[in-house]
Structure 1
Amino acid sequence: MDEQTVEAVRSVVATIPAGETMSYGEVAARAGISSARLVGRILAEDGGDLPWHRVLRADGTCAPQVAVEQAARLRAEGVLLVDGRLPPERRRR
């Protein structure tokens, strides 16, 4: 993956306000790339200083490997998951 792609993804994630979320696919689209999986990879490798917890799967669930921490961080910002999932009315269309 090239530096321009990494920076585009980082830039999009950095702009997600507290209390809001985006899906990996939404981040990819805004960054101008076609792969939601690449967004996840970039965040896993180079996203520790970003609000990575605001990026969810398309179905509103957390990434399994960080689900507990991600849900706790979202809860601290007022984003409540129901049965481990962002309610449909809180998801962007």
Structure 2
Amino acid sequence: MVRMSAEEPEELPAYAERVLEVAELIPPGRVMTYGDVAEWLDEGGPRQVGRVMALYGGAVPWWRVVRADGALLPGHELRALGHYRAEGTPLREAGRAAEGHLPKLDMRRARWDGGTHT
């Protein structure tokens, strides 16, 4: 879960700073998974990145660091969806059988590999 308060600790742990720096590099309309961020840093794993985002992610574009299955962050779905739509992030809309359900991210098209900002 992403902490949405504006409160910032006086000093972030070094690993948290590195995770948040990667989150800020992700271009609008693109995403990286928790595992992608850990791999980019060559340190930690998806759970560690998720923990950092939960504790400190409110100060960065938290909606761009996501679950590998493309599901929207529980408890923050509508807020994230607003960001995705505003940025043009590729989504897979819920089909008729899933009426009333929220879309998922189209991970094949939305995932950013850390290369060019396209």
TM-score over 0.5 (shorter chain): yes
CA distance in 2 between counterparts of 1:46 and 1:88 reads 24
Matched-pair identity in %? 38
- Tell whether 2:82 aligns with 1:69: no
TM value normalised by structure 2? 0.69
**Higher helix fraction (1 or 2):** 1
1:1-93 correspondence runs (5 A):
3-82=13-92, 83=94, 84-92=103-111
TM value normalised by structure 1? 0.85
Cα displacement (A) at 1:89: 3.0
Cα displacement (A) at 1:88: 4.4
Superposition misfits of 4+ residues, deviation over 4 angstroms: none
Unaligned runs of 5+ in 1: none
Matched residue count: 92
Unaligned runs of 5+ in 2: 1-11, 95-102, 114-118
- Larger Rg, first or second structure (1 or 2): 2
Aligned residues: CA RMSD: 1.9
